Chains A and B, each alone.
Chain A
Amino acid sequence: MSKWVVRGLRTGIRSTAYPDAPELAEGVSPGRPLPGAYPRDVVASLAARCPTGALIDRGDRLDVDVGRCVHCYRCARDDYPVGWSRDYEWATLADTRGGALRSAFGGSLHVLVVDAGDCGACLHEVEHLNNPYYNMHRLGFFLTPTPRHADVLVVVGPVSDQMRVPLLKTYEAMPQPKRVVAVGACALSGSVFGPSFVSGAGVGDVLPVDVEVPGQPPPPLAVLHGLLVAVGRASPAELTAAGTPAAVSATQPADGVPAGARRAGGSSSR
């Protein structure tokens, strides 16, 4: 067995520097379309190309509801491609809710993940938080096997009809205070699946959602950002009136170097 120890040591530390420094490796994020000002006809044609209504025609301006984006890249192709950011700090706080958990939870957060009809990708990206590259343990985030020990419920999928009751029971079994993090376009809007006769239009129809992480699937760094937002250790992506992450990232260069973690709350000791 000793050879495994040696192998592990020789591999060294692969974990990302995020949230202390931005992760710049290629391929860590599928990116997202950016809102922006375009000629009126271009705005109309871009909005028409979007199959899920994520691009909203506001006359001479294109708004983006990132929660509906399913990464089909149809707006990023052909003539007049939409602006595309490669950032990943996408999590927002649902403003009607209790906000982030207080700092007592900041350094040791127990997370339960429920698959409510996910296609597999979001769940995999959440699983990758245990991958050496992302290693959420270093941030004090732990998976818990039981809802009784969970502070945060991470839900993926649009909430299929037959998962609604198990999901509700899981939530009800969690102690207070608790937060719900909805991960992925399906969990936010139902995506291409819902609403239908067997799918909801996202977790919000069933549970009070506190943190929303858009993307299909959101990359692991976006999920990590979502957990950091849930405990007030990172600022949420800013909101516009339309409820979408604002054009803050639009000012970034095209290669999309993210703003890095902005610490908030009383967790600076970590």
Chain B
Amino acid sequence: MTRVQLERVVAERWAGGVTCRRDEARSVTELTCAPAQLAELCGALSGEWGYVFAGLVVEEGEDAWELRYAFLDGRPSGWAHVLLRRPLDERNVPSVAAVVHAADWHEREAEDLFGLTFEGHPALGDFVLHDDAWQEGVEPMRHAFPADTPMAERRPNREWRPRRIVHAPGSFVMPIGPVFAGMAESVHLHLETVGEDVIRAFPRLFYKYRGVEKIAEGRKVDEALLLAERFSATTAFAHGLAFAHAVETVCATDVPPRARILRVFIAELERLRHHAEAIAGICSSTGLAVAASQAGIIEEDLLRASGALAQHRYLFGLAVPGGLARDLDDDACSTALGRARDAVHDLDRLWGMLRLTSSFVDRLEEVGLISETDARSHGLVGPIARASGIARDLRLAQPYDAYGSLAVFPALEHEGDGYARLRVLFTECYHALRLMEQAHAALEPGPVHTAPEMRAGAAFGAVEAPRGAAFHWVRLDGAGTVLRYRVVPPSFVNWHGFHLAVEDFAFQDLPIILATLDLSVAENDR
């Protein structure tokens, strides 16, 4: 469907009730509606017209709330933003979670942080701000809430107890975390079990909530960039890049060709390193020590290659709005490419052995199943979605930087189990190397940075991060101060689908399922 077609069908169905505004330059159609049409419109976009929910952005304007439900399609129509404006003293908004299930957690987050009530949502509360630590009525994302002062007066709810769903003879709750017996990120997993089977699983997240979106407000672009890069530093370059894209869109900055190519080169190096790390995690979760060591060696080789190329092992300080902070010389890129080739060669040898090791494959096959239907309804992204038969990749759907001129192949598997996810990771490693090679061959001398001229405005920046689609919404004033920053990281979306993979599998499969999902808590918690 093109943008013109979208405008026509909307006009036909809600004659006069929904106003359309097209922005061809940014491929955005803004559909402004009233509360009564919200759920129907969002439902039609995702249910009938093939749009995928990308995120909910709540903004507190001068005199009105503005809720922006962003949907994304393939190339012809690009973005559709459903806008709902409500006066500031009106706190009740209809929930769309029943028709767009992917919006469920977005509404819970907005309820916790802004104090909006999404009418009809089944489970609000105790999400970002835990009820046993914060009293109700604290709304940190409101402009009136000071970001820099610690909360002096806390009245946590001591009576809070986790919700229990399963009431069966022999049912038992396994509370795991937030401190783990081993090195793991802080998250609490509330697993309701009967015998060995996990019947219900709730992740309790946001122990690591650092309020990145709040503390970015009022900072200059340069300082906010530090936050974008550092809130999930294992994929720092991708998030720095998404933030840069948003600023570049607002300021209509043209990124020089060399920077576009180098961005692809670096982003694919990061993807390769990240996937090697995920593979190492899967190997070690199954107790296959030699394979875990082999993958660990590959990962460290790639960290060192990144360090040699860009000084920083996690590629900090490279992505900036307008291009790259500094040029990388061609020889250093050649060396990095050589090391990436070696790493992929080693990975290939590892894969050759892994797929023939039945004790390993048996623990992944048909474990942690996520069906395509569930993956779609939860709007899952990244390698997890691609292992469940959803060929969705922003590098193809919304090509950015130099991806439009390079051959990008999406990895795709259909089984949706742990083994399919492992195969997607390996395939994407091969593809990352191919993209690095293409980018390297296309390198031409030139500048790598155009200083953006700051303008007032707001835009999404999108990047296919190693864990999946990442969206950064940035609103700037004319002086380059961030007024609103909203991140929809891939792990936030995918944690929503965590229970799909865990429920109805044996408790002892949990570490393996977690490893194959490769969810980042830091990325989710922000």
Contact = CB atoms under 8 A, between A and B. Distances in A.
B520 interface: yes
A29 B304 CA distance: 8
B226 A7 contact: no
B311 interface: yes
Given A5-B290, A124-B277, A197-B150, A30 B208 contact: no
Interface stretch (B57-65, B182-190, B257-265): B182-190
Contacts of A157: 208
B304 A70 contact: no
Nearest to A9: B290
Contacts of A139: none
B277 A120 contact: no
A198 interface: yes
Interface stretch (A90-98, A160-168, A235-243): A160-168
B22 interface: no
Dominant secondary structure at the A interface: loop
A119 B357 contact: no
A146 B181 contact: yes
A117 B211 CA distance: 11
Nearest to B346: A11
Contacts of A126: 183
B208 A118 contact: yes
A226 interface: no
Given A197-B150, A198-B140, A73 B325 contact: yes
A4 B147 contact: no
A11 B306 contact: no
**Most chain-A Cβ atoms within 10 A of its Cβ — which of B186, B222, B303, B316?**
B186
B300 A193 contact: no
**Most chain-A Cβ atoms within 10 A of its Cβ — which of B178, B181, B184, B521?**
B178
A71 interface: yes
B233 A160 contact: no
Contacts of B210: 117, 158, 160, 193-194, 196, 198-199
A115 B186 contact: yes
Give the interface residue-count category, chain A. Answer: 35 or more
A120 B185 CA distance: 8
A220 B334 CA distance: 26
Interface in B125-149: 130, 133, 140, 145-149
Contact of B133 (A52, A117, A128, A161): A161
A14 B178 contact: no
A270 interface: no
A106 interface: no
A207 interface: no
B185 A162 contact: no
A133 B294 CA distance: 11
A192 B151 contact: no
B146 A198 contact: no
Interface in B230-245: 230-234, 236
Contacts, number: 202
B125 to A, nearest CB: 15
B290 A27 contact: no
B305 A120 contact: no
B299 interface: yes
B307 A119 contact: no
Interface string B350-372: 00010001010000000000000
A143 B316 contact: no
B405 interface: no
A26 to B, nearest CB: 4
Contacts of B183: 113, 115, 123, 126-127, 143
B186 A116 contact: yes
A40 to B, nearest CB: 24
B114 interface: no
A267 interface: no
**Most chain-B Cβ atoms within 10 A of its Cβ — which of A3, A52, A123?**
A123
Interface in B312-335: 312-314, 316-317, 325-326
Given A8-B290, A162-B206, A163-B207, A121 B234 contact: yes
Nearest to A158: B210
B222 A160 contact: no
Contact of A196 (B147, B179, B208, B309): B147
B317 A145 contact: no
Given A125-B313, A166-B207, A191-B230, 8 more contacts: A121-B314, A162-B130, A163-B208, A193-B215, A196-B211, A197-B148, A197-B150, A216-B230
5 contacts: A28-B307, A30-B316, A73-B317, A131-B296, A163-B207
Interface of B: 130, 133, 140, 145-151, 178-179, 181-186, 206-212, 214-215, 222-223, 226-227, 230-234, 236, 277, 288, 290-291, 293-294, 296-297, 299-300, 303-309, 311-314, 316-317, 325-326, 353, 357, 359, 520-523, 525
